[in-house]
Structure 1
Amino acid sequence: MPRSRPTRVAALVALLLAAATACGDAGGLQGAGPTETAISPDKLWPQLTPASSPAYVVGEVNREVVKGVTVPQGDIRDVDPVAVVRREIAESPGDYAGDKAPYGRTGRLMAECDKGAGRGRCPVLQPYYRDLTGDGRPDLTLGFRQMPGNTTAVRVYTVEKRRLVQVMEWDDAISGVELAGRSVIIRSPSEVAGYEYRLQWTWDADQKAMLLTHDEMLRTESREKTPHPSPSLSPSPSPSPSPSASTP
């Protein structure tokens, strides 16, 4: 039978008194000193009329159905990541086709992807599968190198009504990518020595897309070591994994 609240409180007090008696003064509670007075924020320029629309269009919501790629069984693991990148490249020939294209080397090296993503000189990196949308099914996080240069394209895809939908995209010089909960965290080098950028996208059920929820500049010296990937974060061993593969 569970204890009532008064009984649990009395038991807790007795336990604390017993611990204090056994330990004496050693390890007892000590005052931390006076608490600083809370200061409320100062609102500047209250006479300004609040803006009703953004000054710049930065594309906060990136959501697009990938044309030409279907998911007949509804399992995103059946989708070939290389085919997805090839589809994106095909839609921007000016960026990837020809020696003078900004990412012409990426376009040429796509021919090296016959063995799958993450193999040899293929610019498509190893894909990862994890539920980022909260629907209980894995979503696809993939990246591909944009060459020449040192930028990497990061994309997130989900499946809706057997259609592949892109819900996040970002291109940048990248020093690390992490998945945490419903978020994608990207770390990028800064031009300020000793600092790096940390950007976080989080799934938003209303917009049905990953929204940029945090944009910070942090000191690299205070950065904690990146934890080992969660067991629910699993790379794909091949570009076309078996439908029977276990869901992370």
Structure 2
Amino acid sequence: MNSRRTCTAAAAVTASVLLLAGCGDSGELRSAGPTSTAVGPARLWPTLPPASAAADDYGSGHTEVVKGITAKDDDIHRVNPVDVVRAQEAAASASPSPSPSPVNVVGLDDCGTEASTKCPVLKAYYRDLTGDGKDELVVGIRLPKRQLAVRCYTFEDHRLTQIMGTSDAVVSVEIAGRDVILRAVADLPGYEYRTAWSWDPHQRAMLPTRDEILRTGPPAPPTQPPKPSPATPTASPQNSPTPSPPAQTR
């Protein structure tokens, strides 16, 4: 039996036999090269006292019950998104306390029974974001200054509840799995903010679980110094014409 058939037969045996017999290999361990030493995190300013208050957020963890909106069998597909936004705006206008849904939606009067390009409430989408097997309602609302509000709703205890609300200079909105991913304009040219909102069963709300800034375009060209204006050409000494001798007078 030649060496090739021997190796082919040996491939069918267990790994332990392969280590003992081998096929054209000594079976010895080989070094994969030097490995960098693991370095643990170094805590900076260990004596710094903890914060006494949370930082300002932009709607994370806020929920809001939308009063006056119901649907048969809590079927969220039967809910009219425009009616939801109108109910929230009316409630926010009548309430003296701040609301996670600010009163800045304009143009709701242009939202009729037929589709209108002037209506600020965009087409609704339905996805299971909480993992309970039922769809949630995802609504986009055009705001002034080219801002976009994104809100998600679900039925809890037969009450329509907003479980997510945020607004930004949004570039695009995507749903990946059960995450709502927002891409927004960054302050740095060639970059964008990307935030993934995920359902948190403890908070009973969508939370921004991942917030990052990513490179999206080519690097900005370096600033070039202004080129000097071309100088007036001067005659070189070797090419200079020989001056004529002065005229002689008698």
> 2:90, 2:174 → 1: CA distance?
28
- Spell out the pairing of 1:44-193 with structure 2 (5 A cutoff): 44-51=44-51, 53-58=52-57, 59-93=59-93, 103=104, 106-107=105-106, 109-116=107-114, 119-147=116-144, 149-193=145-189
> 2:166, 2:119 → 1: CA distance?
20
1:38: which partner in 2?
Answer: 38
- The secondary structure found in structure 2 opposite 1:88 is helix
Deviation per residue, 1:143-172 (Å, 9 max, x gap): 11013x110110000111221000000011
Flag structure 1 segments of 5+ consecutive residues without an equivalent: 1-8, 25-29, 95-101, 223-248
When Rg is computed on C-alpha atoms for both structures, the one with the higher figure is: 2
| Contact 2:137–2:152 (8 Å) recurs in 1 | yes
Equivalent residue letter for 2:135:
P
> 2:158, 2:13 → 1: CA distance?
57
CA change 1:125–1:77 in 2 (3 A) is same
CA change 1:32–1:91 in 2 (3 A) is farther
| Contact 1:71–1:159 (8 Å) recurs in 2 | no
Tell me how large the CA RMSD over aligned residues is: 3.1
Deviation per residue, 1:31-75 (Å, 9 max, x gap): 864332222111111122334x43434353111111111123211
| Contact 1:200–1:214 (8 Å) recurs in 2 | yes
Flag structure 2 segments of 5+ consecutive residues without an equivalent: 1-10, 25-29, 95-102, 219-250
2:192: which partner in 1?
Answer: 196
| Contact 2:60–2:165 (8 Å) recurs in 1 | no
> 1:112, 1:11 → 2: CA distance?
75
Q: Percent identity?
A: 47
- The secondary structure found in structure 1 opposite 2:74 is coil
> 1:12, 1:151 → 2: CA distance?
63
TM-score by length of 1: 0.67
> 1:11, 1:156 → 2: CA distance?
57
Deviation per residue, 1:166-197 (Å, 9 max, x gap): 00000111001111222211110111011111
Higher relative contact order (CA 8 A, sep 6+): 1
Equivalent residue letter for 2:63:
R
The number of aligned residues is: 192
> 1:84, 1:12 → 2: CA distance?
65
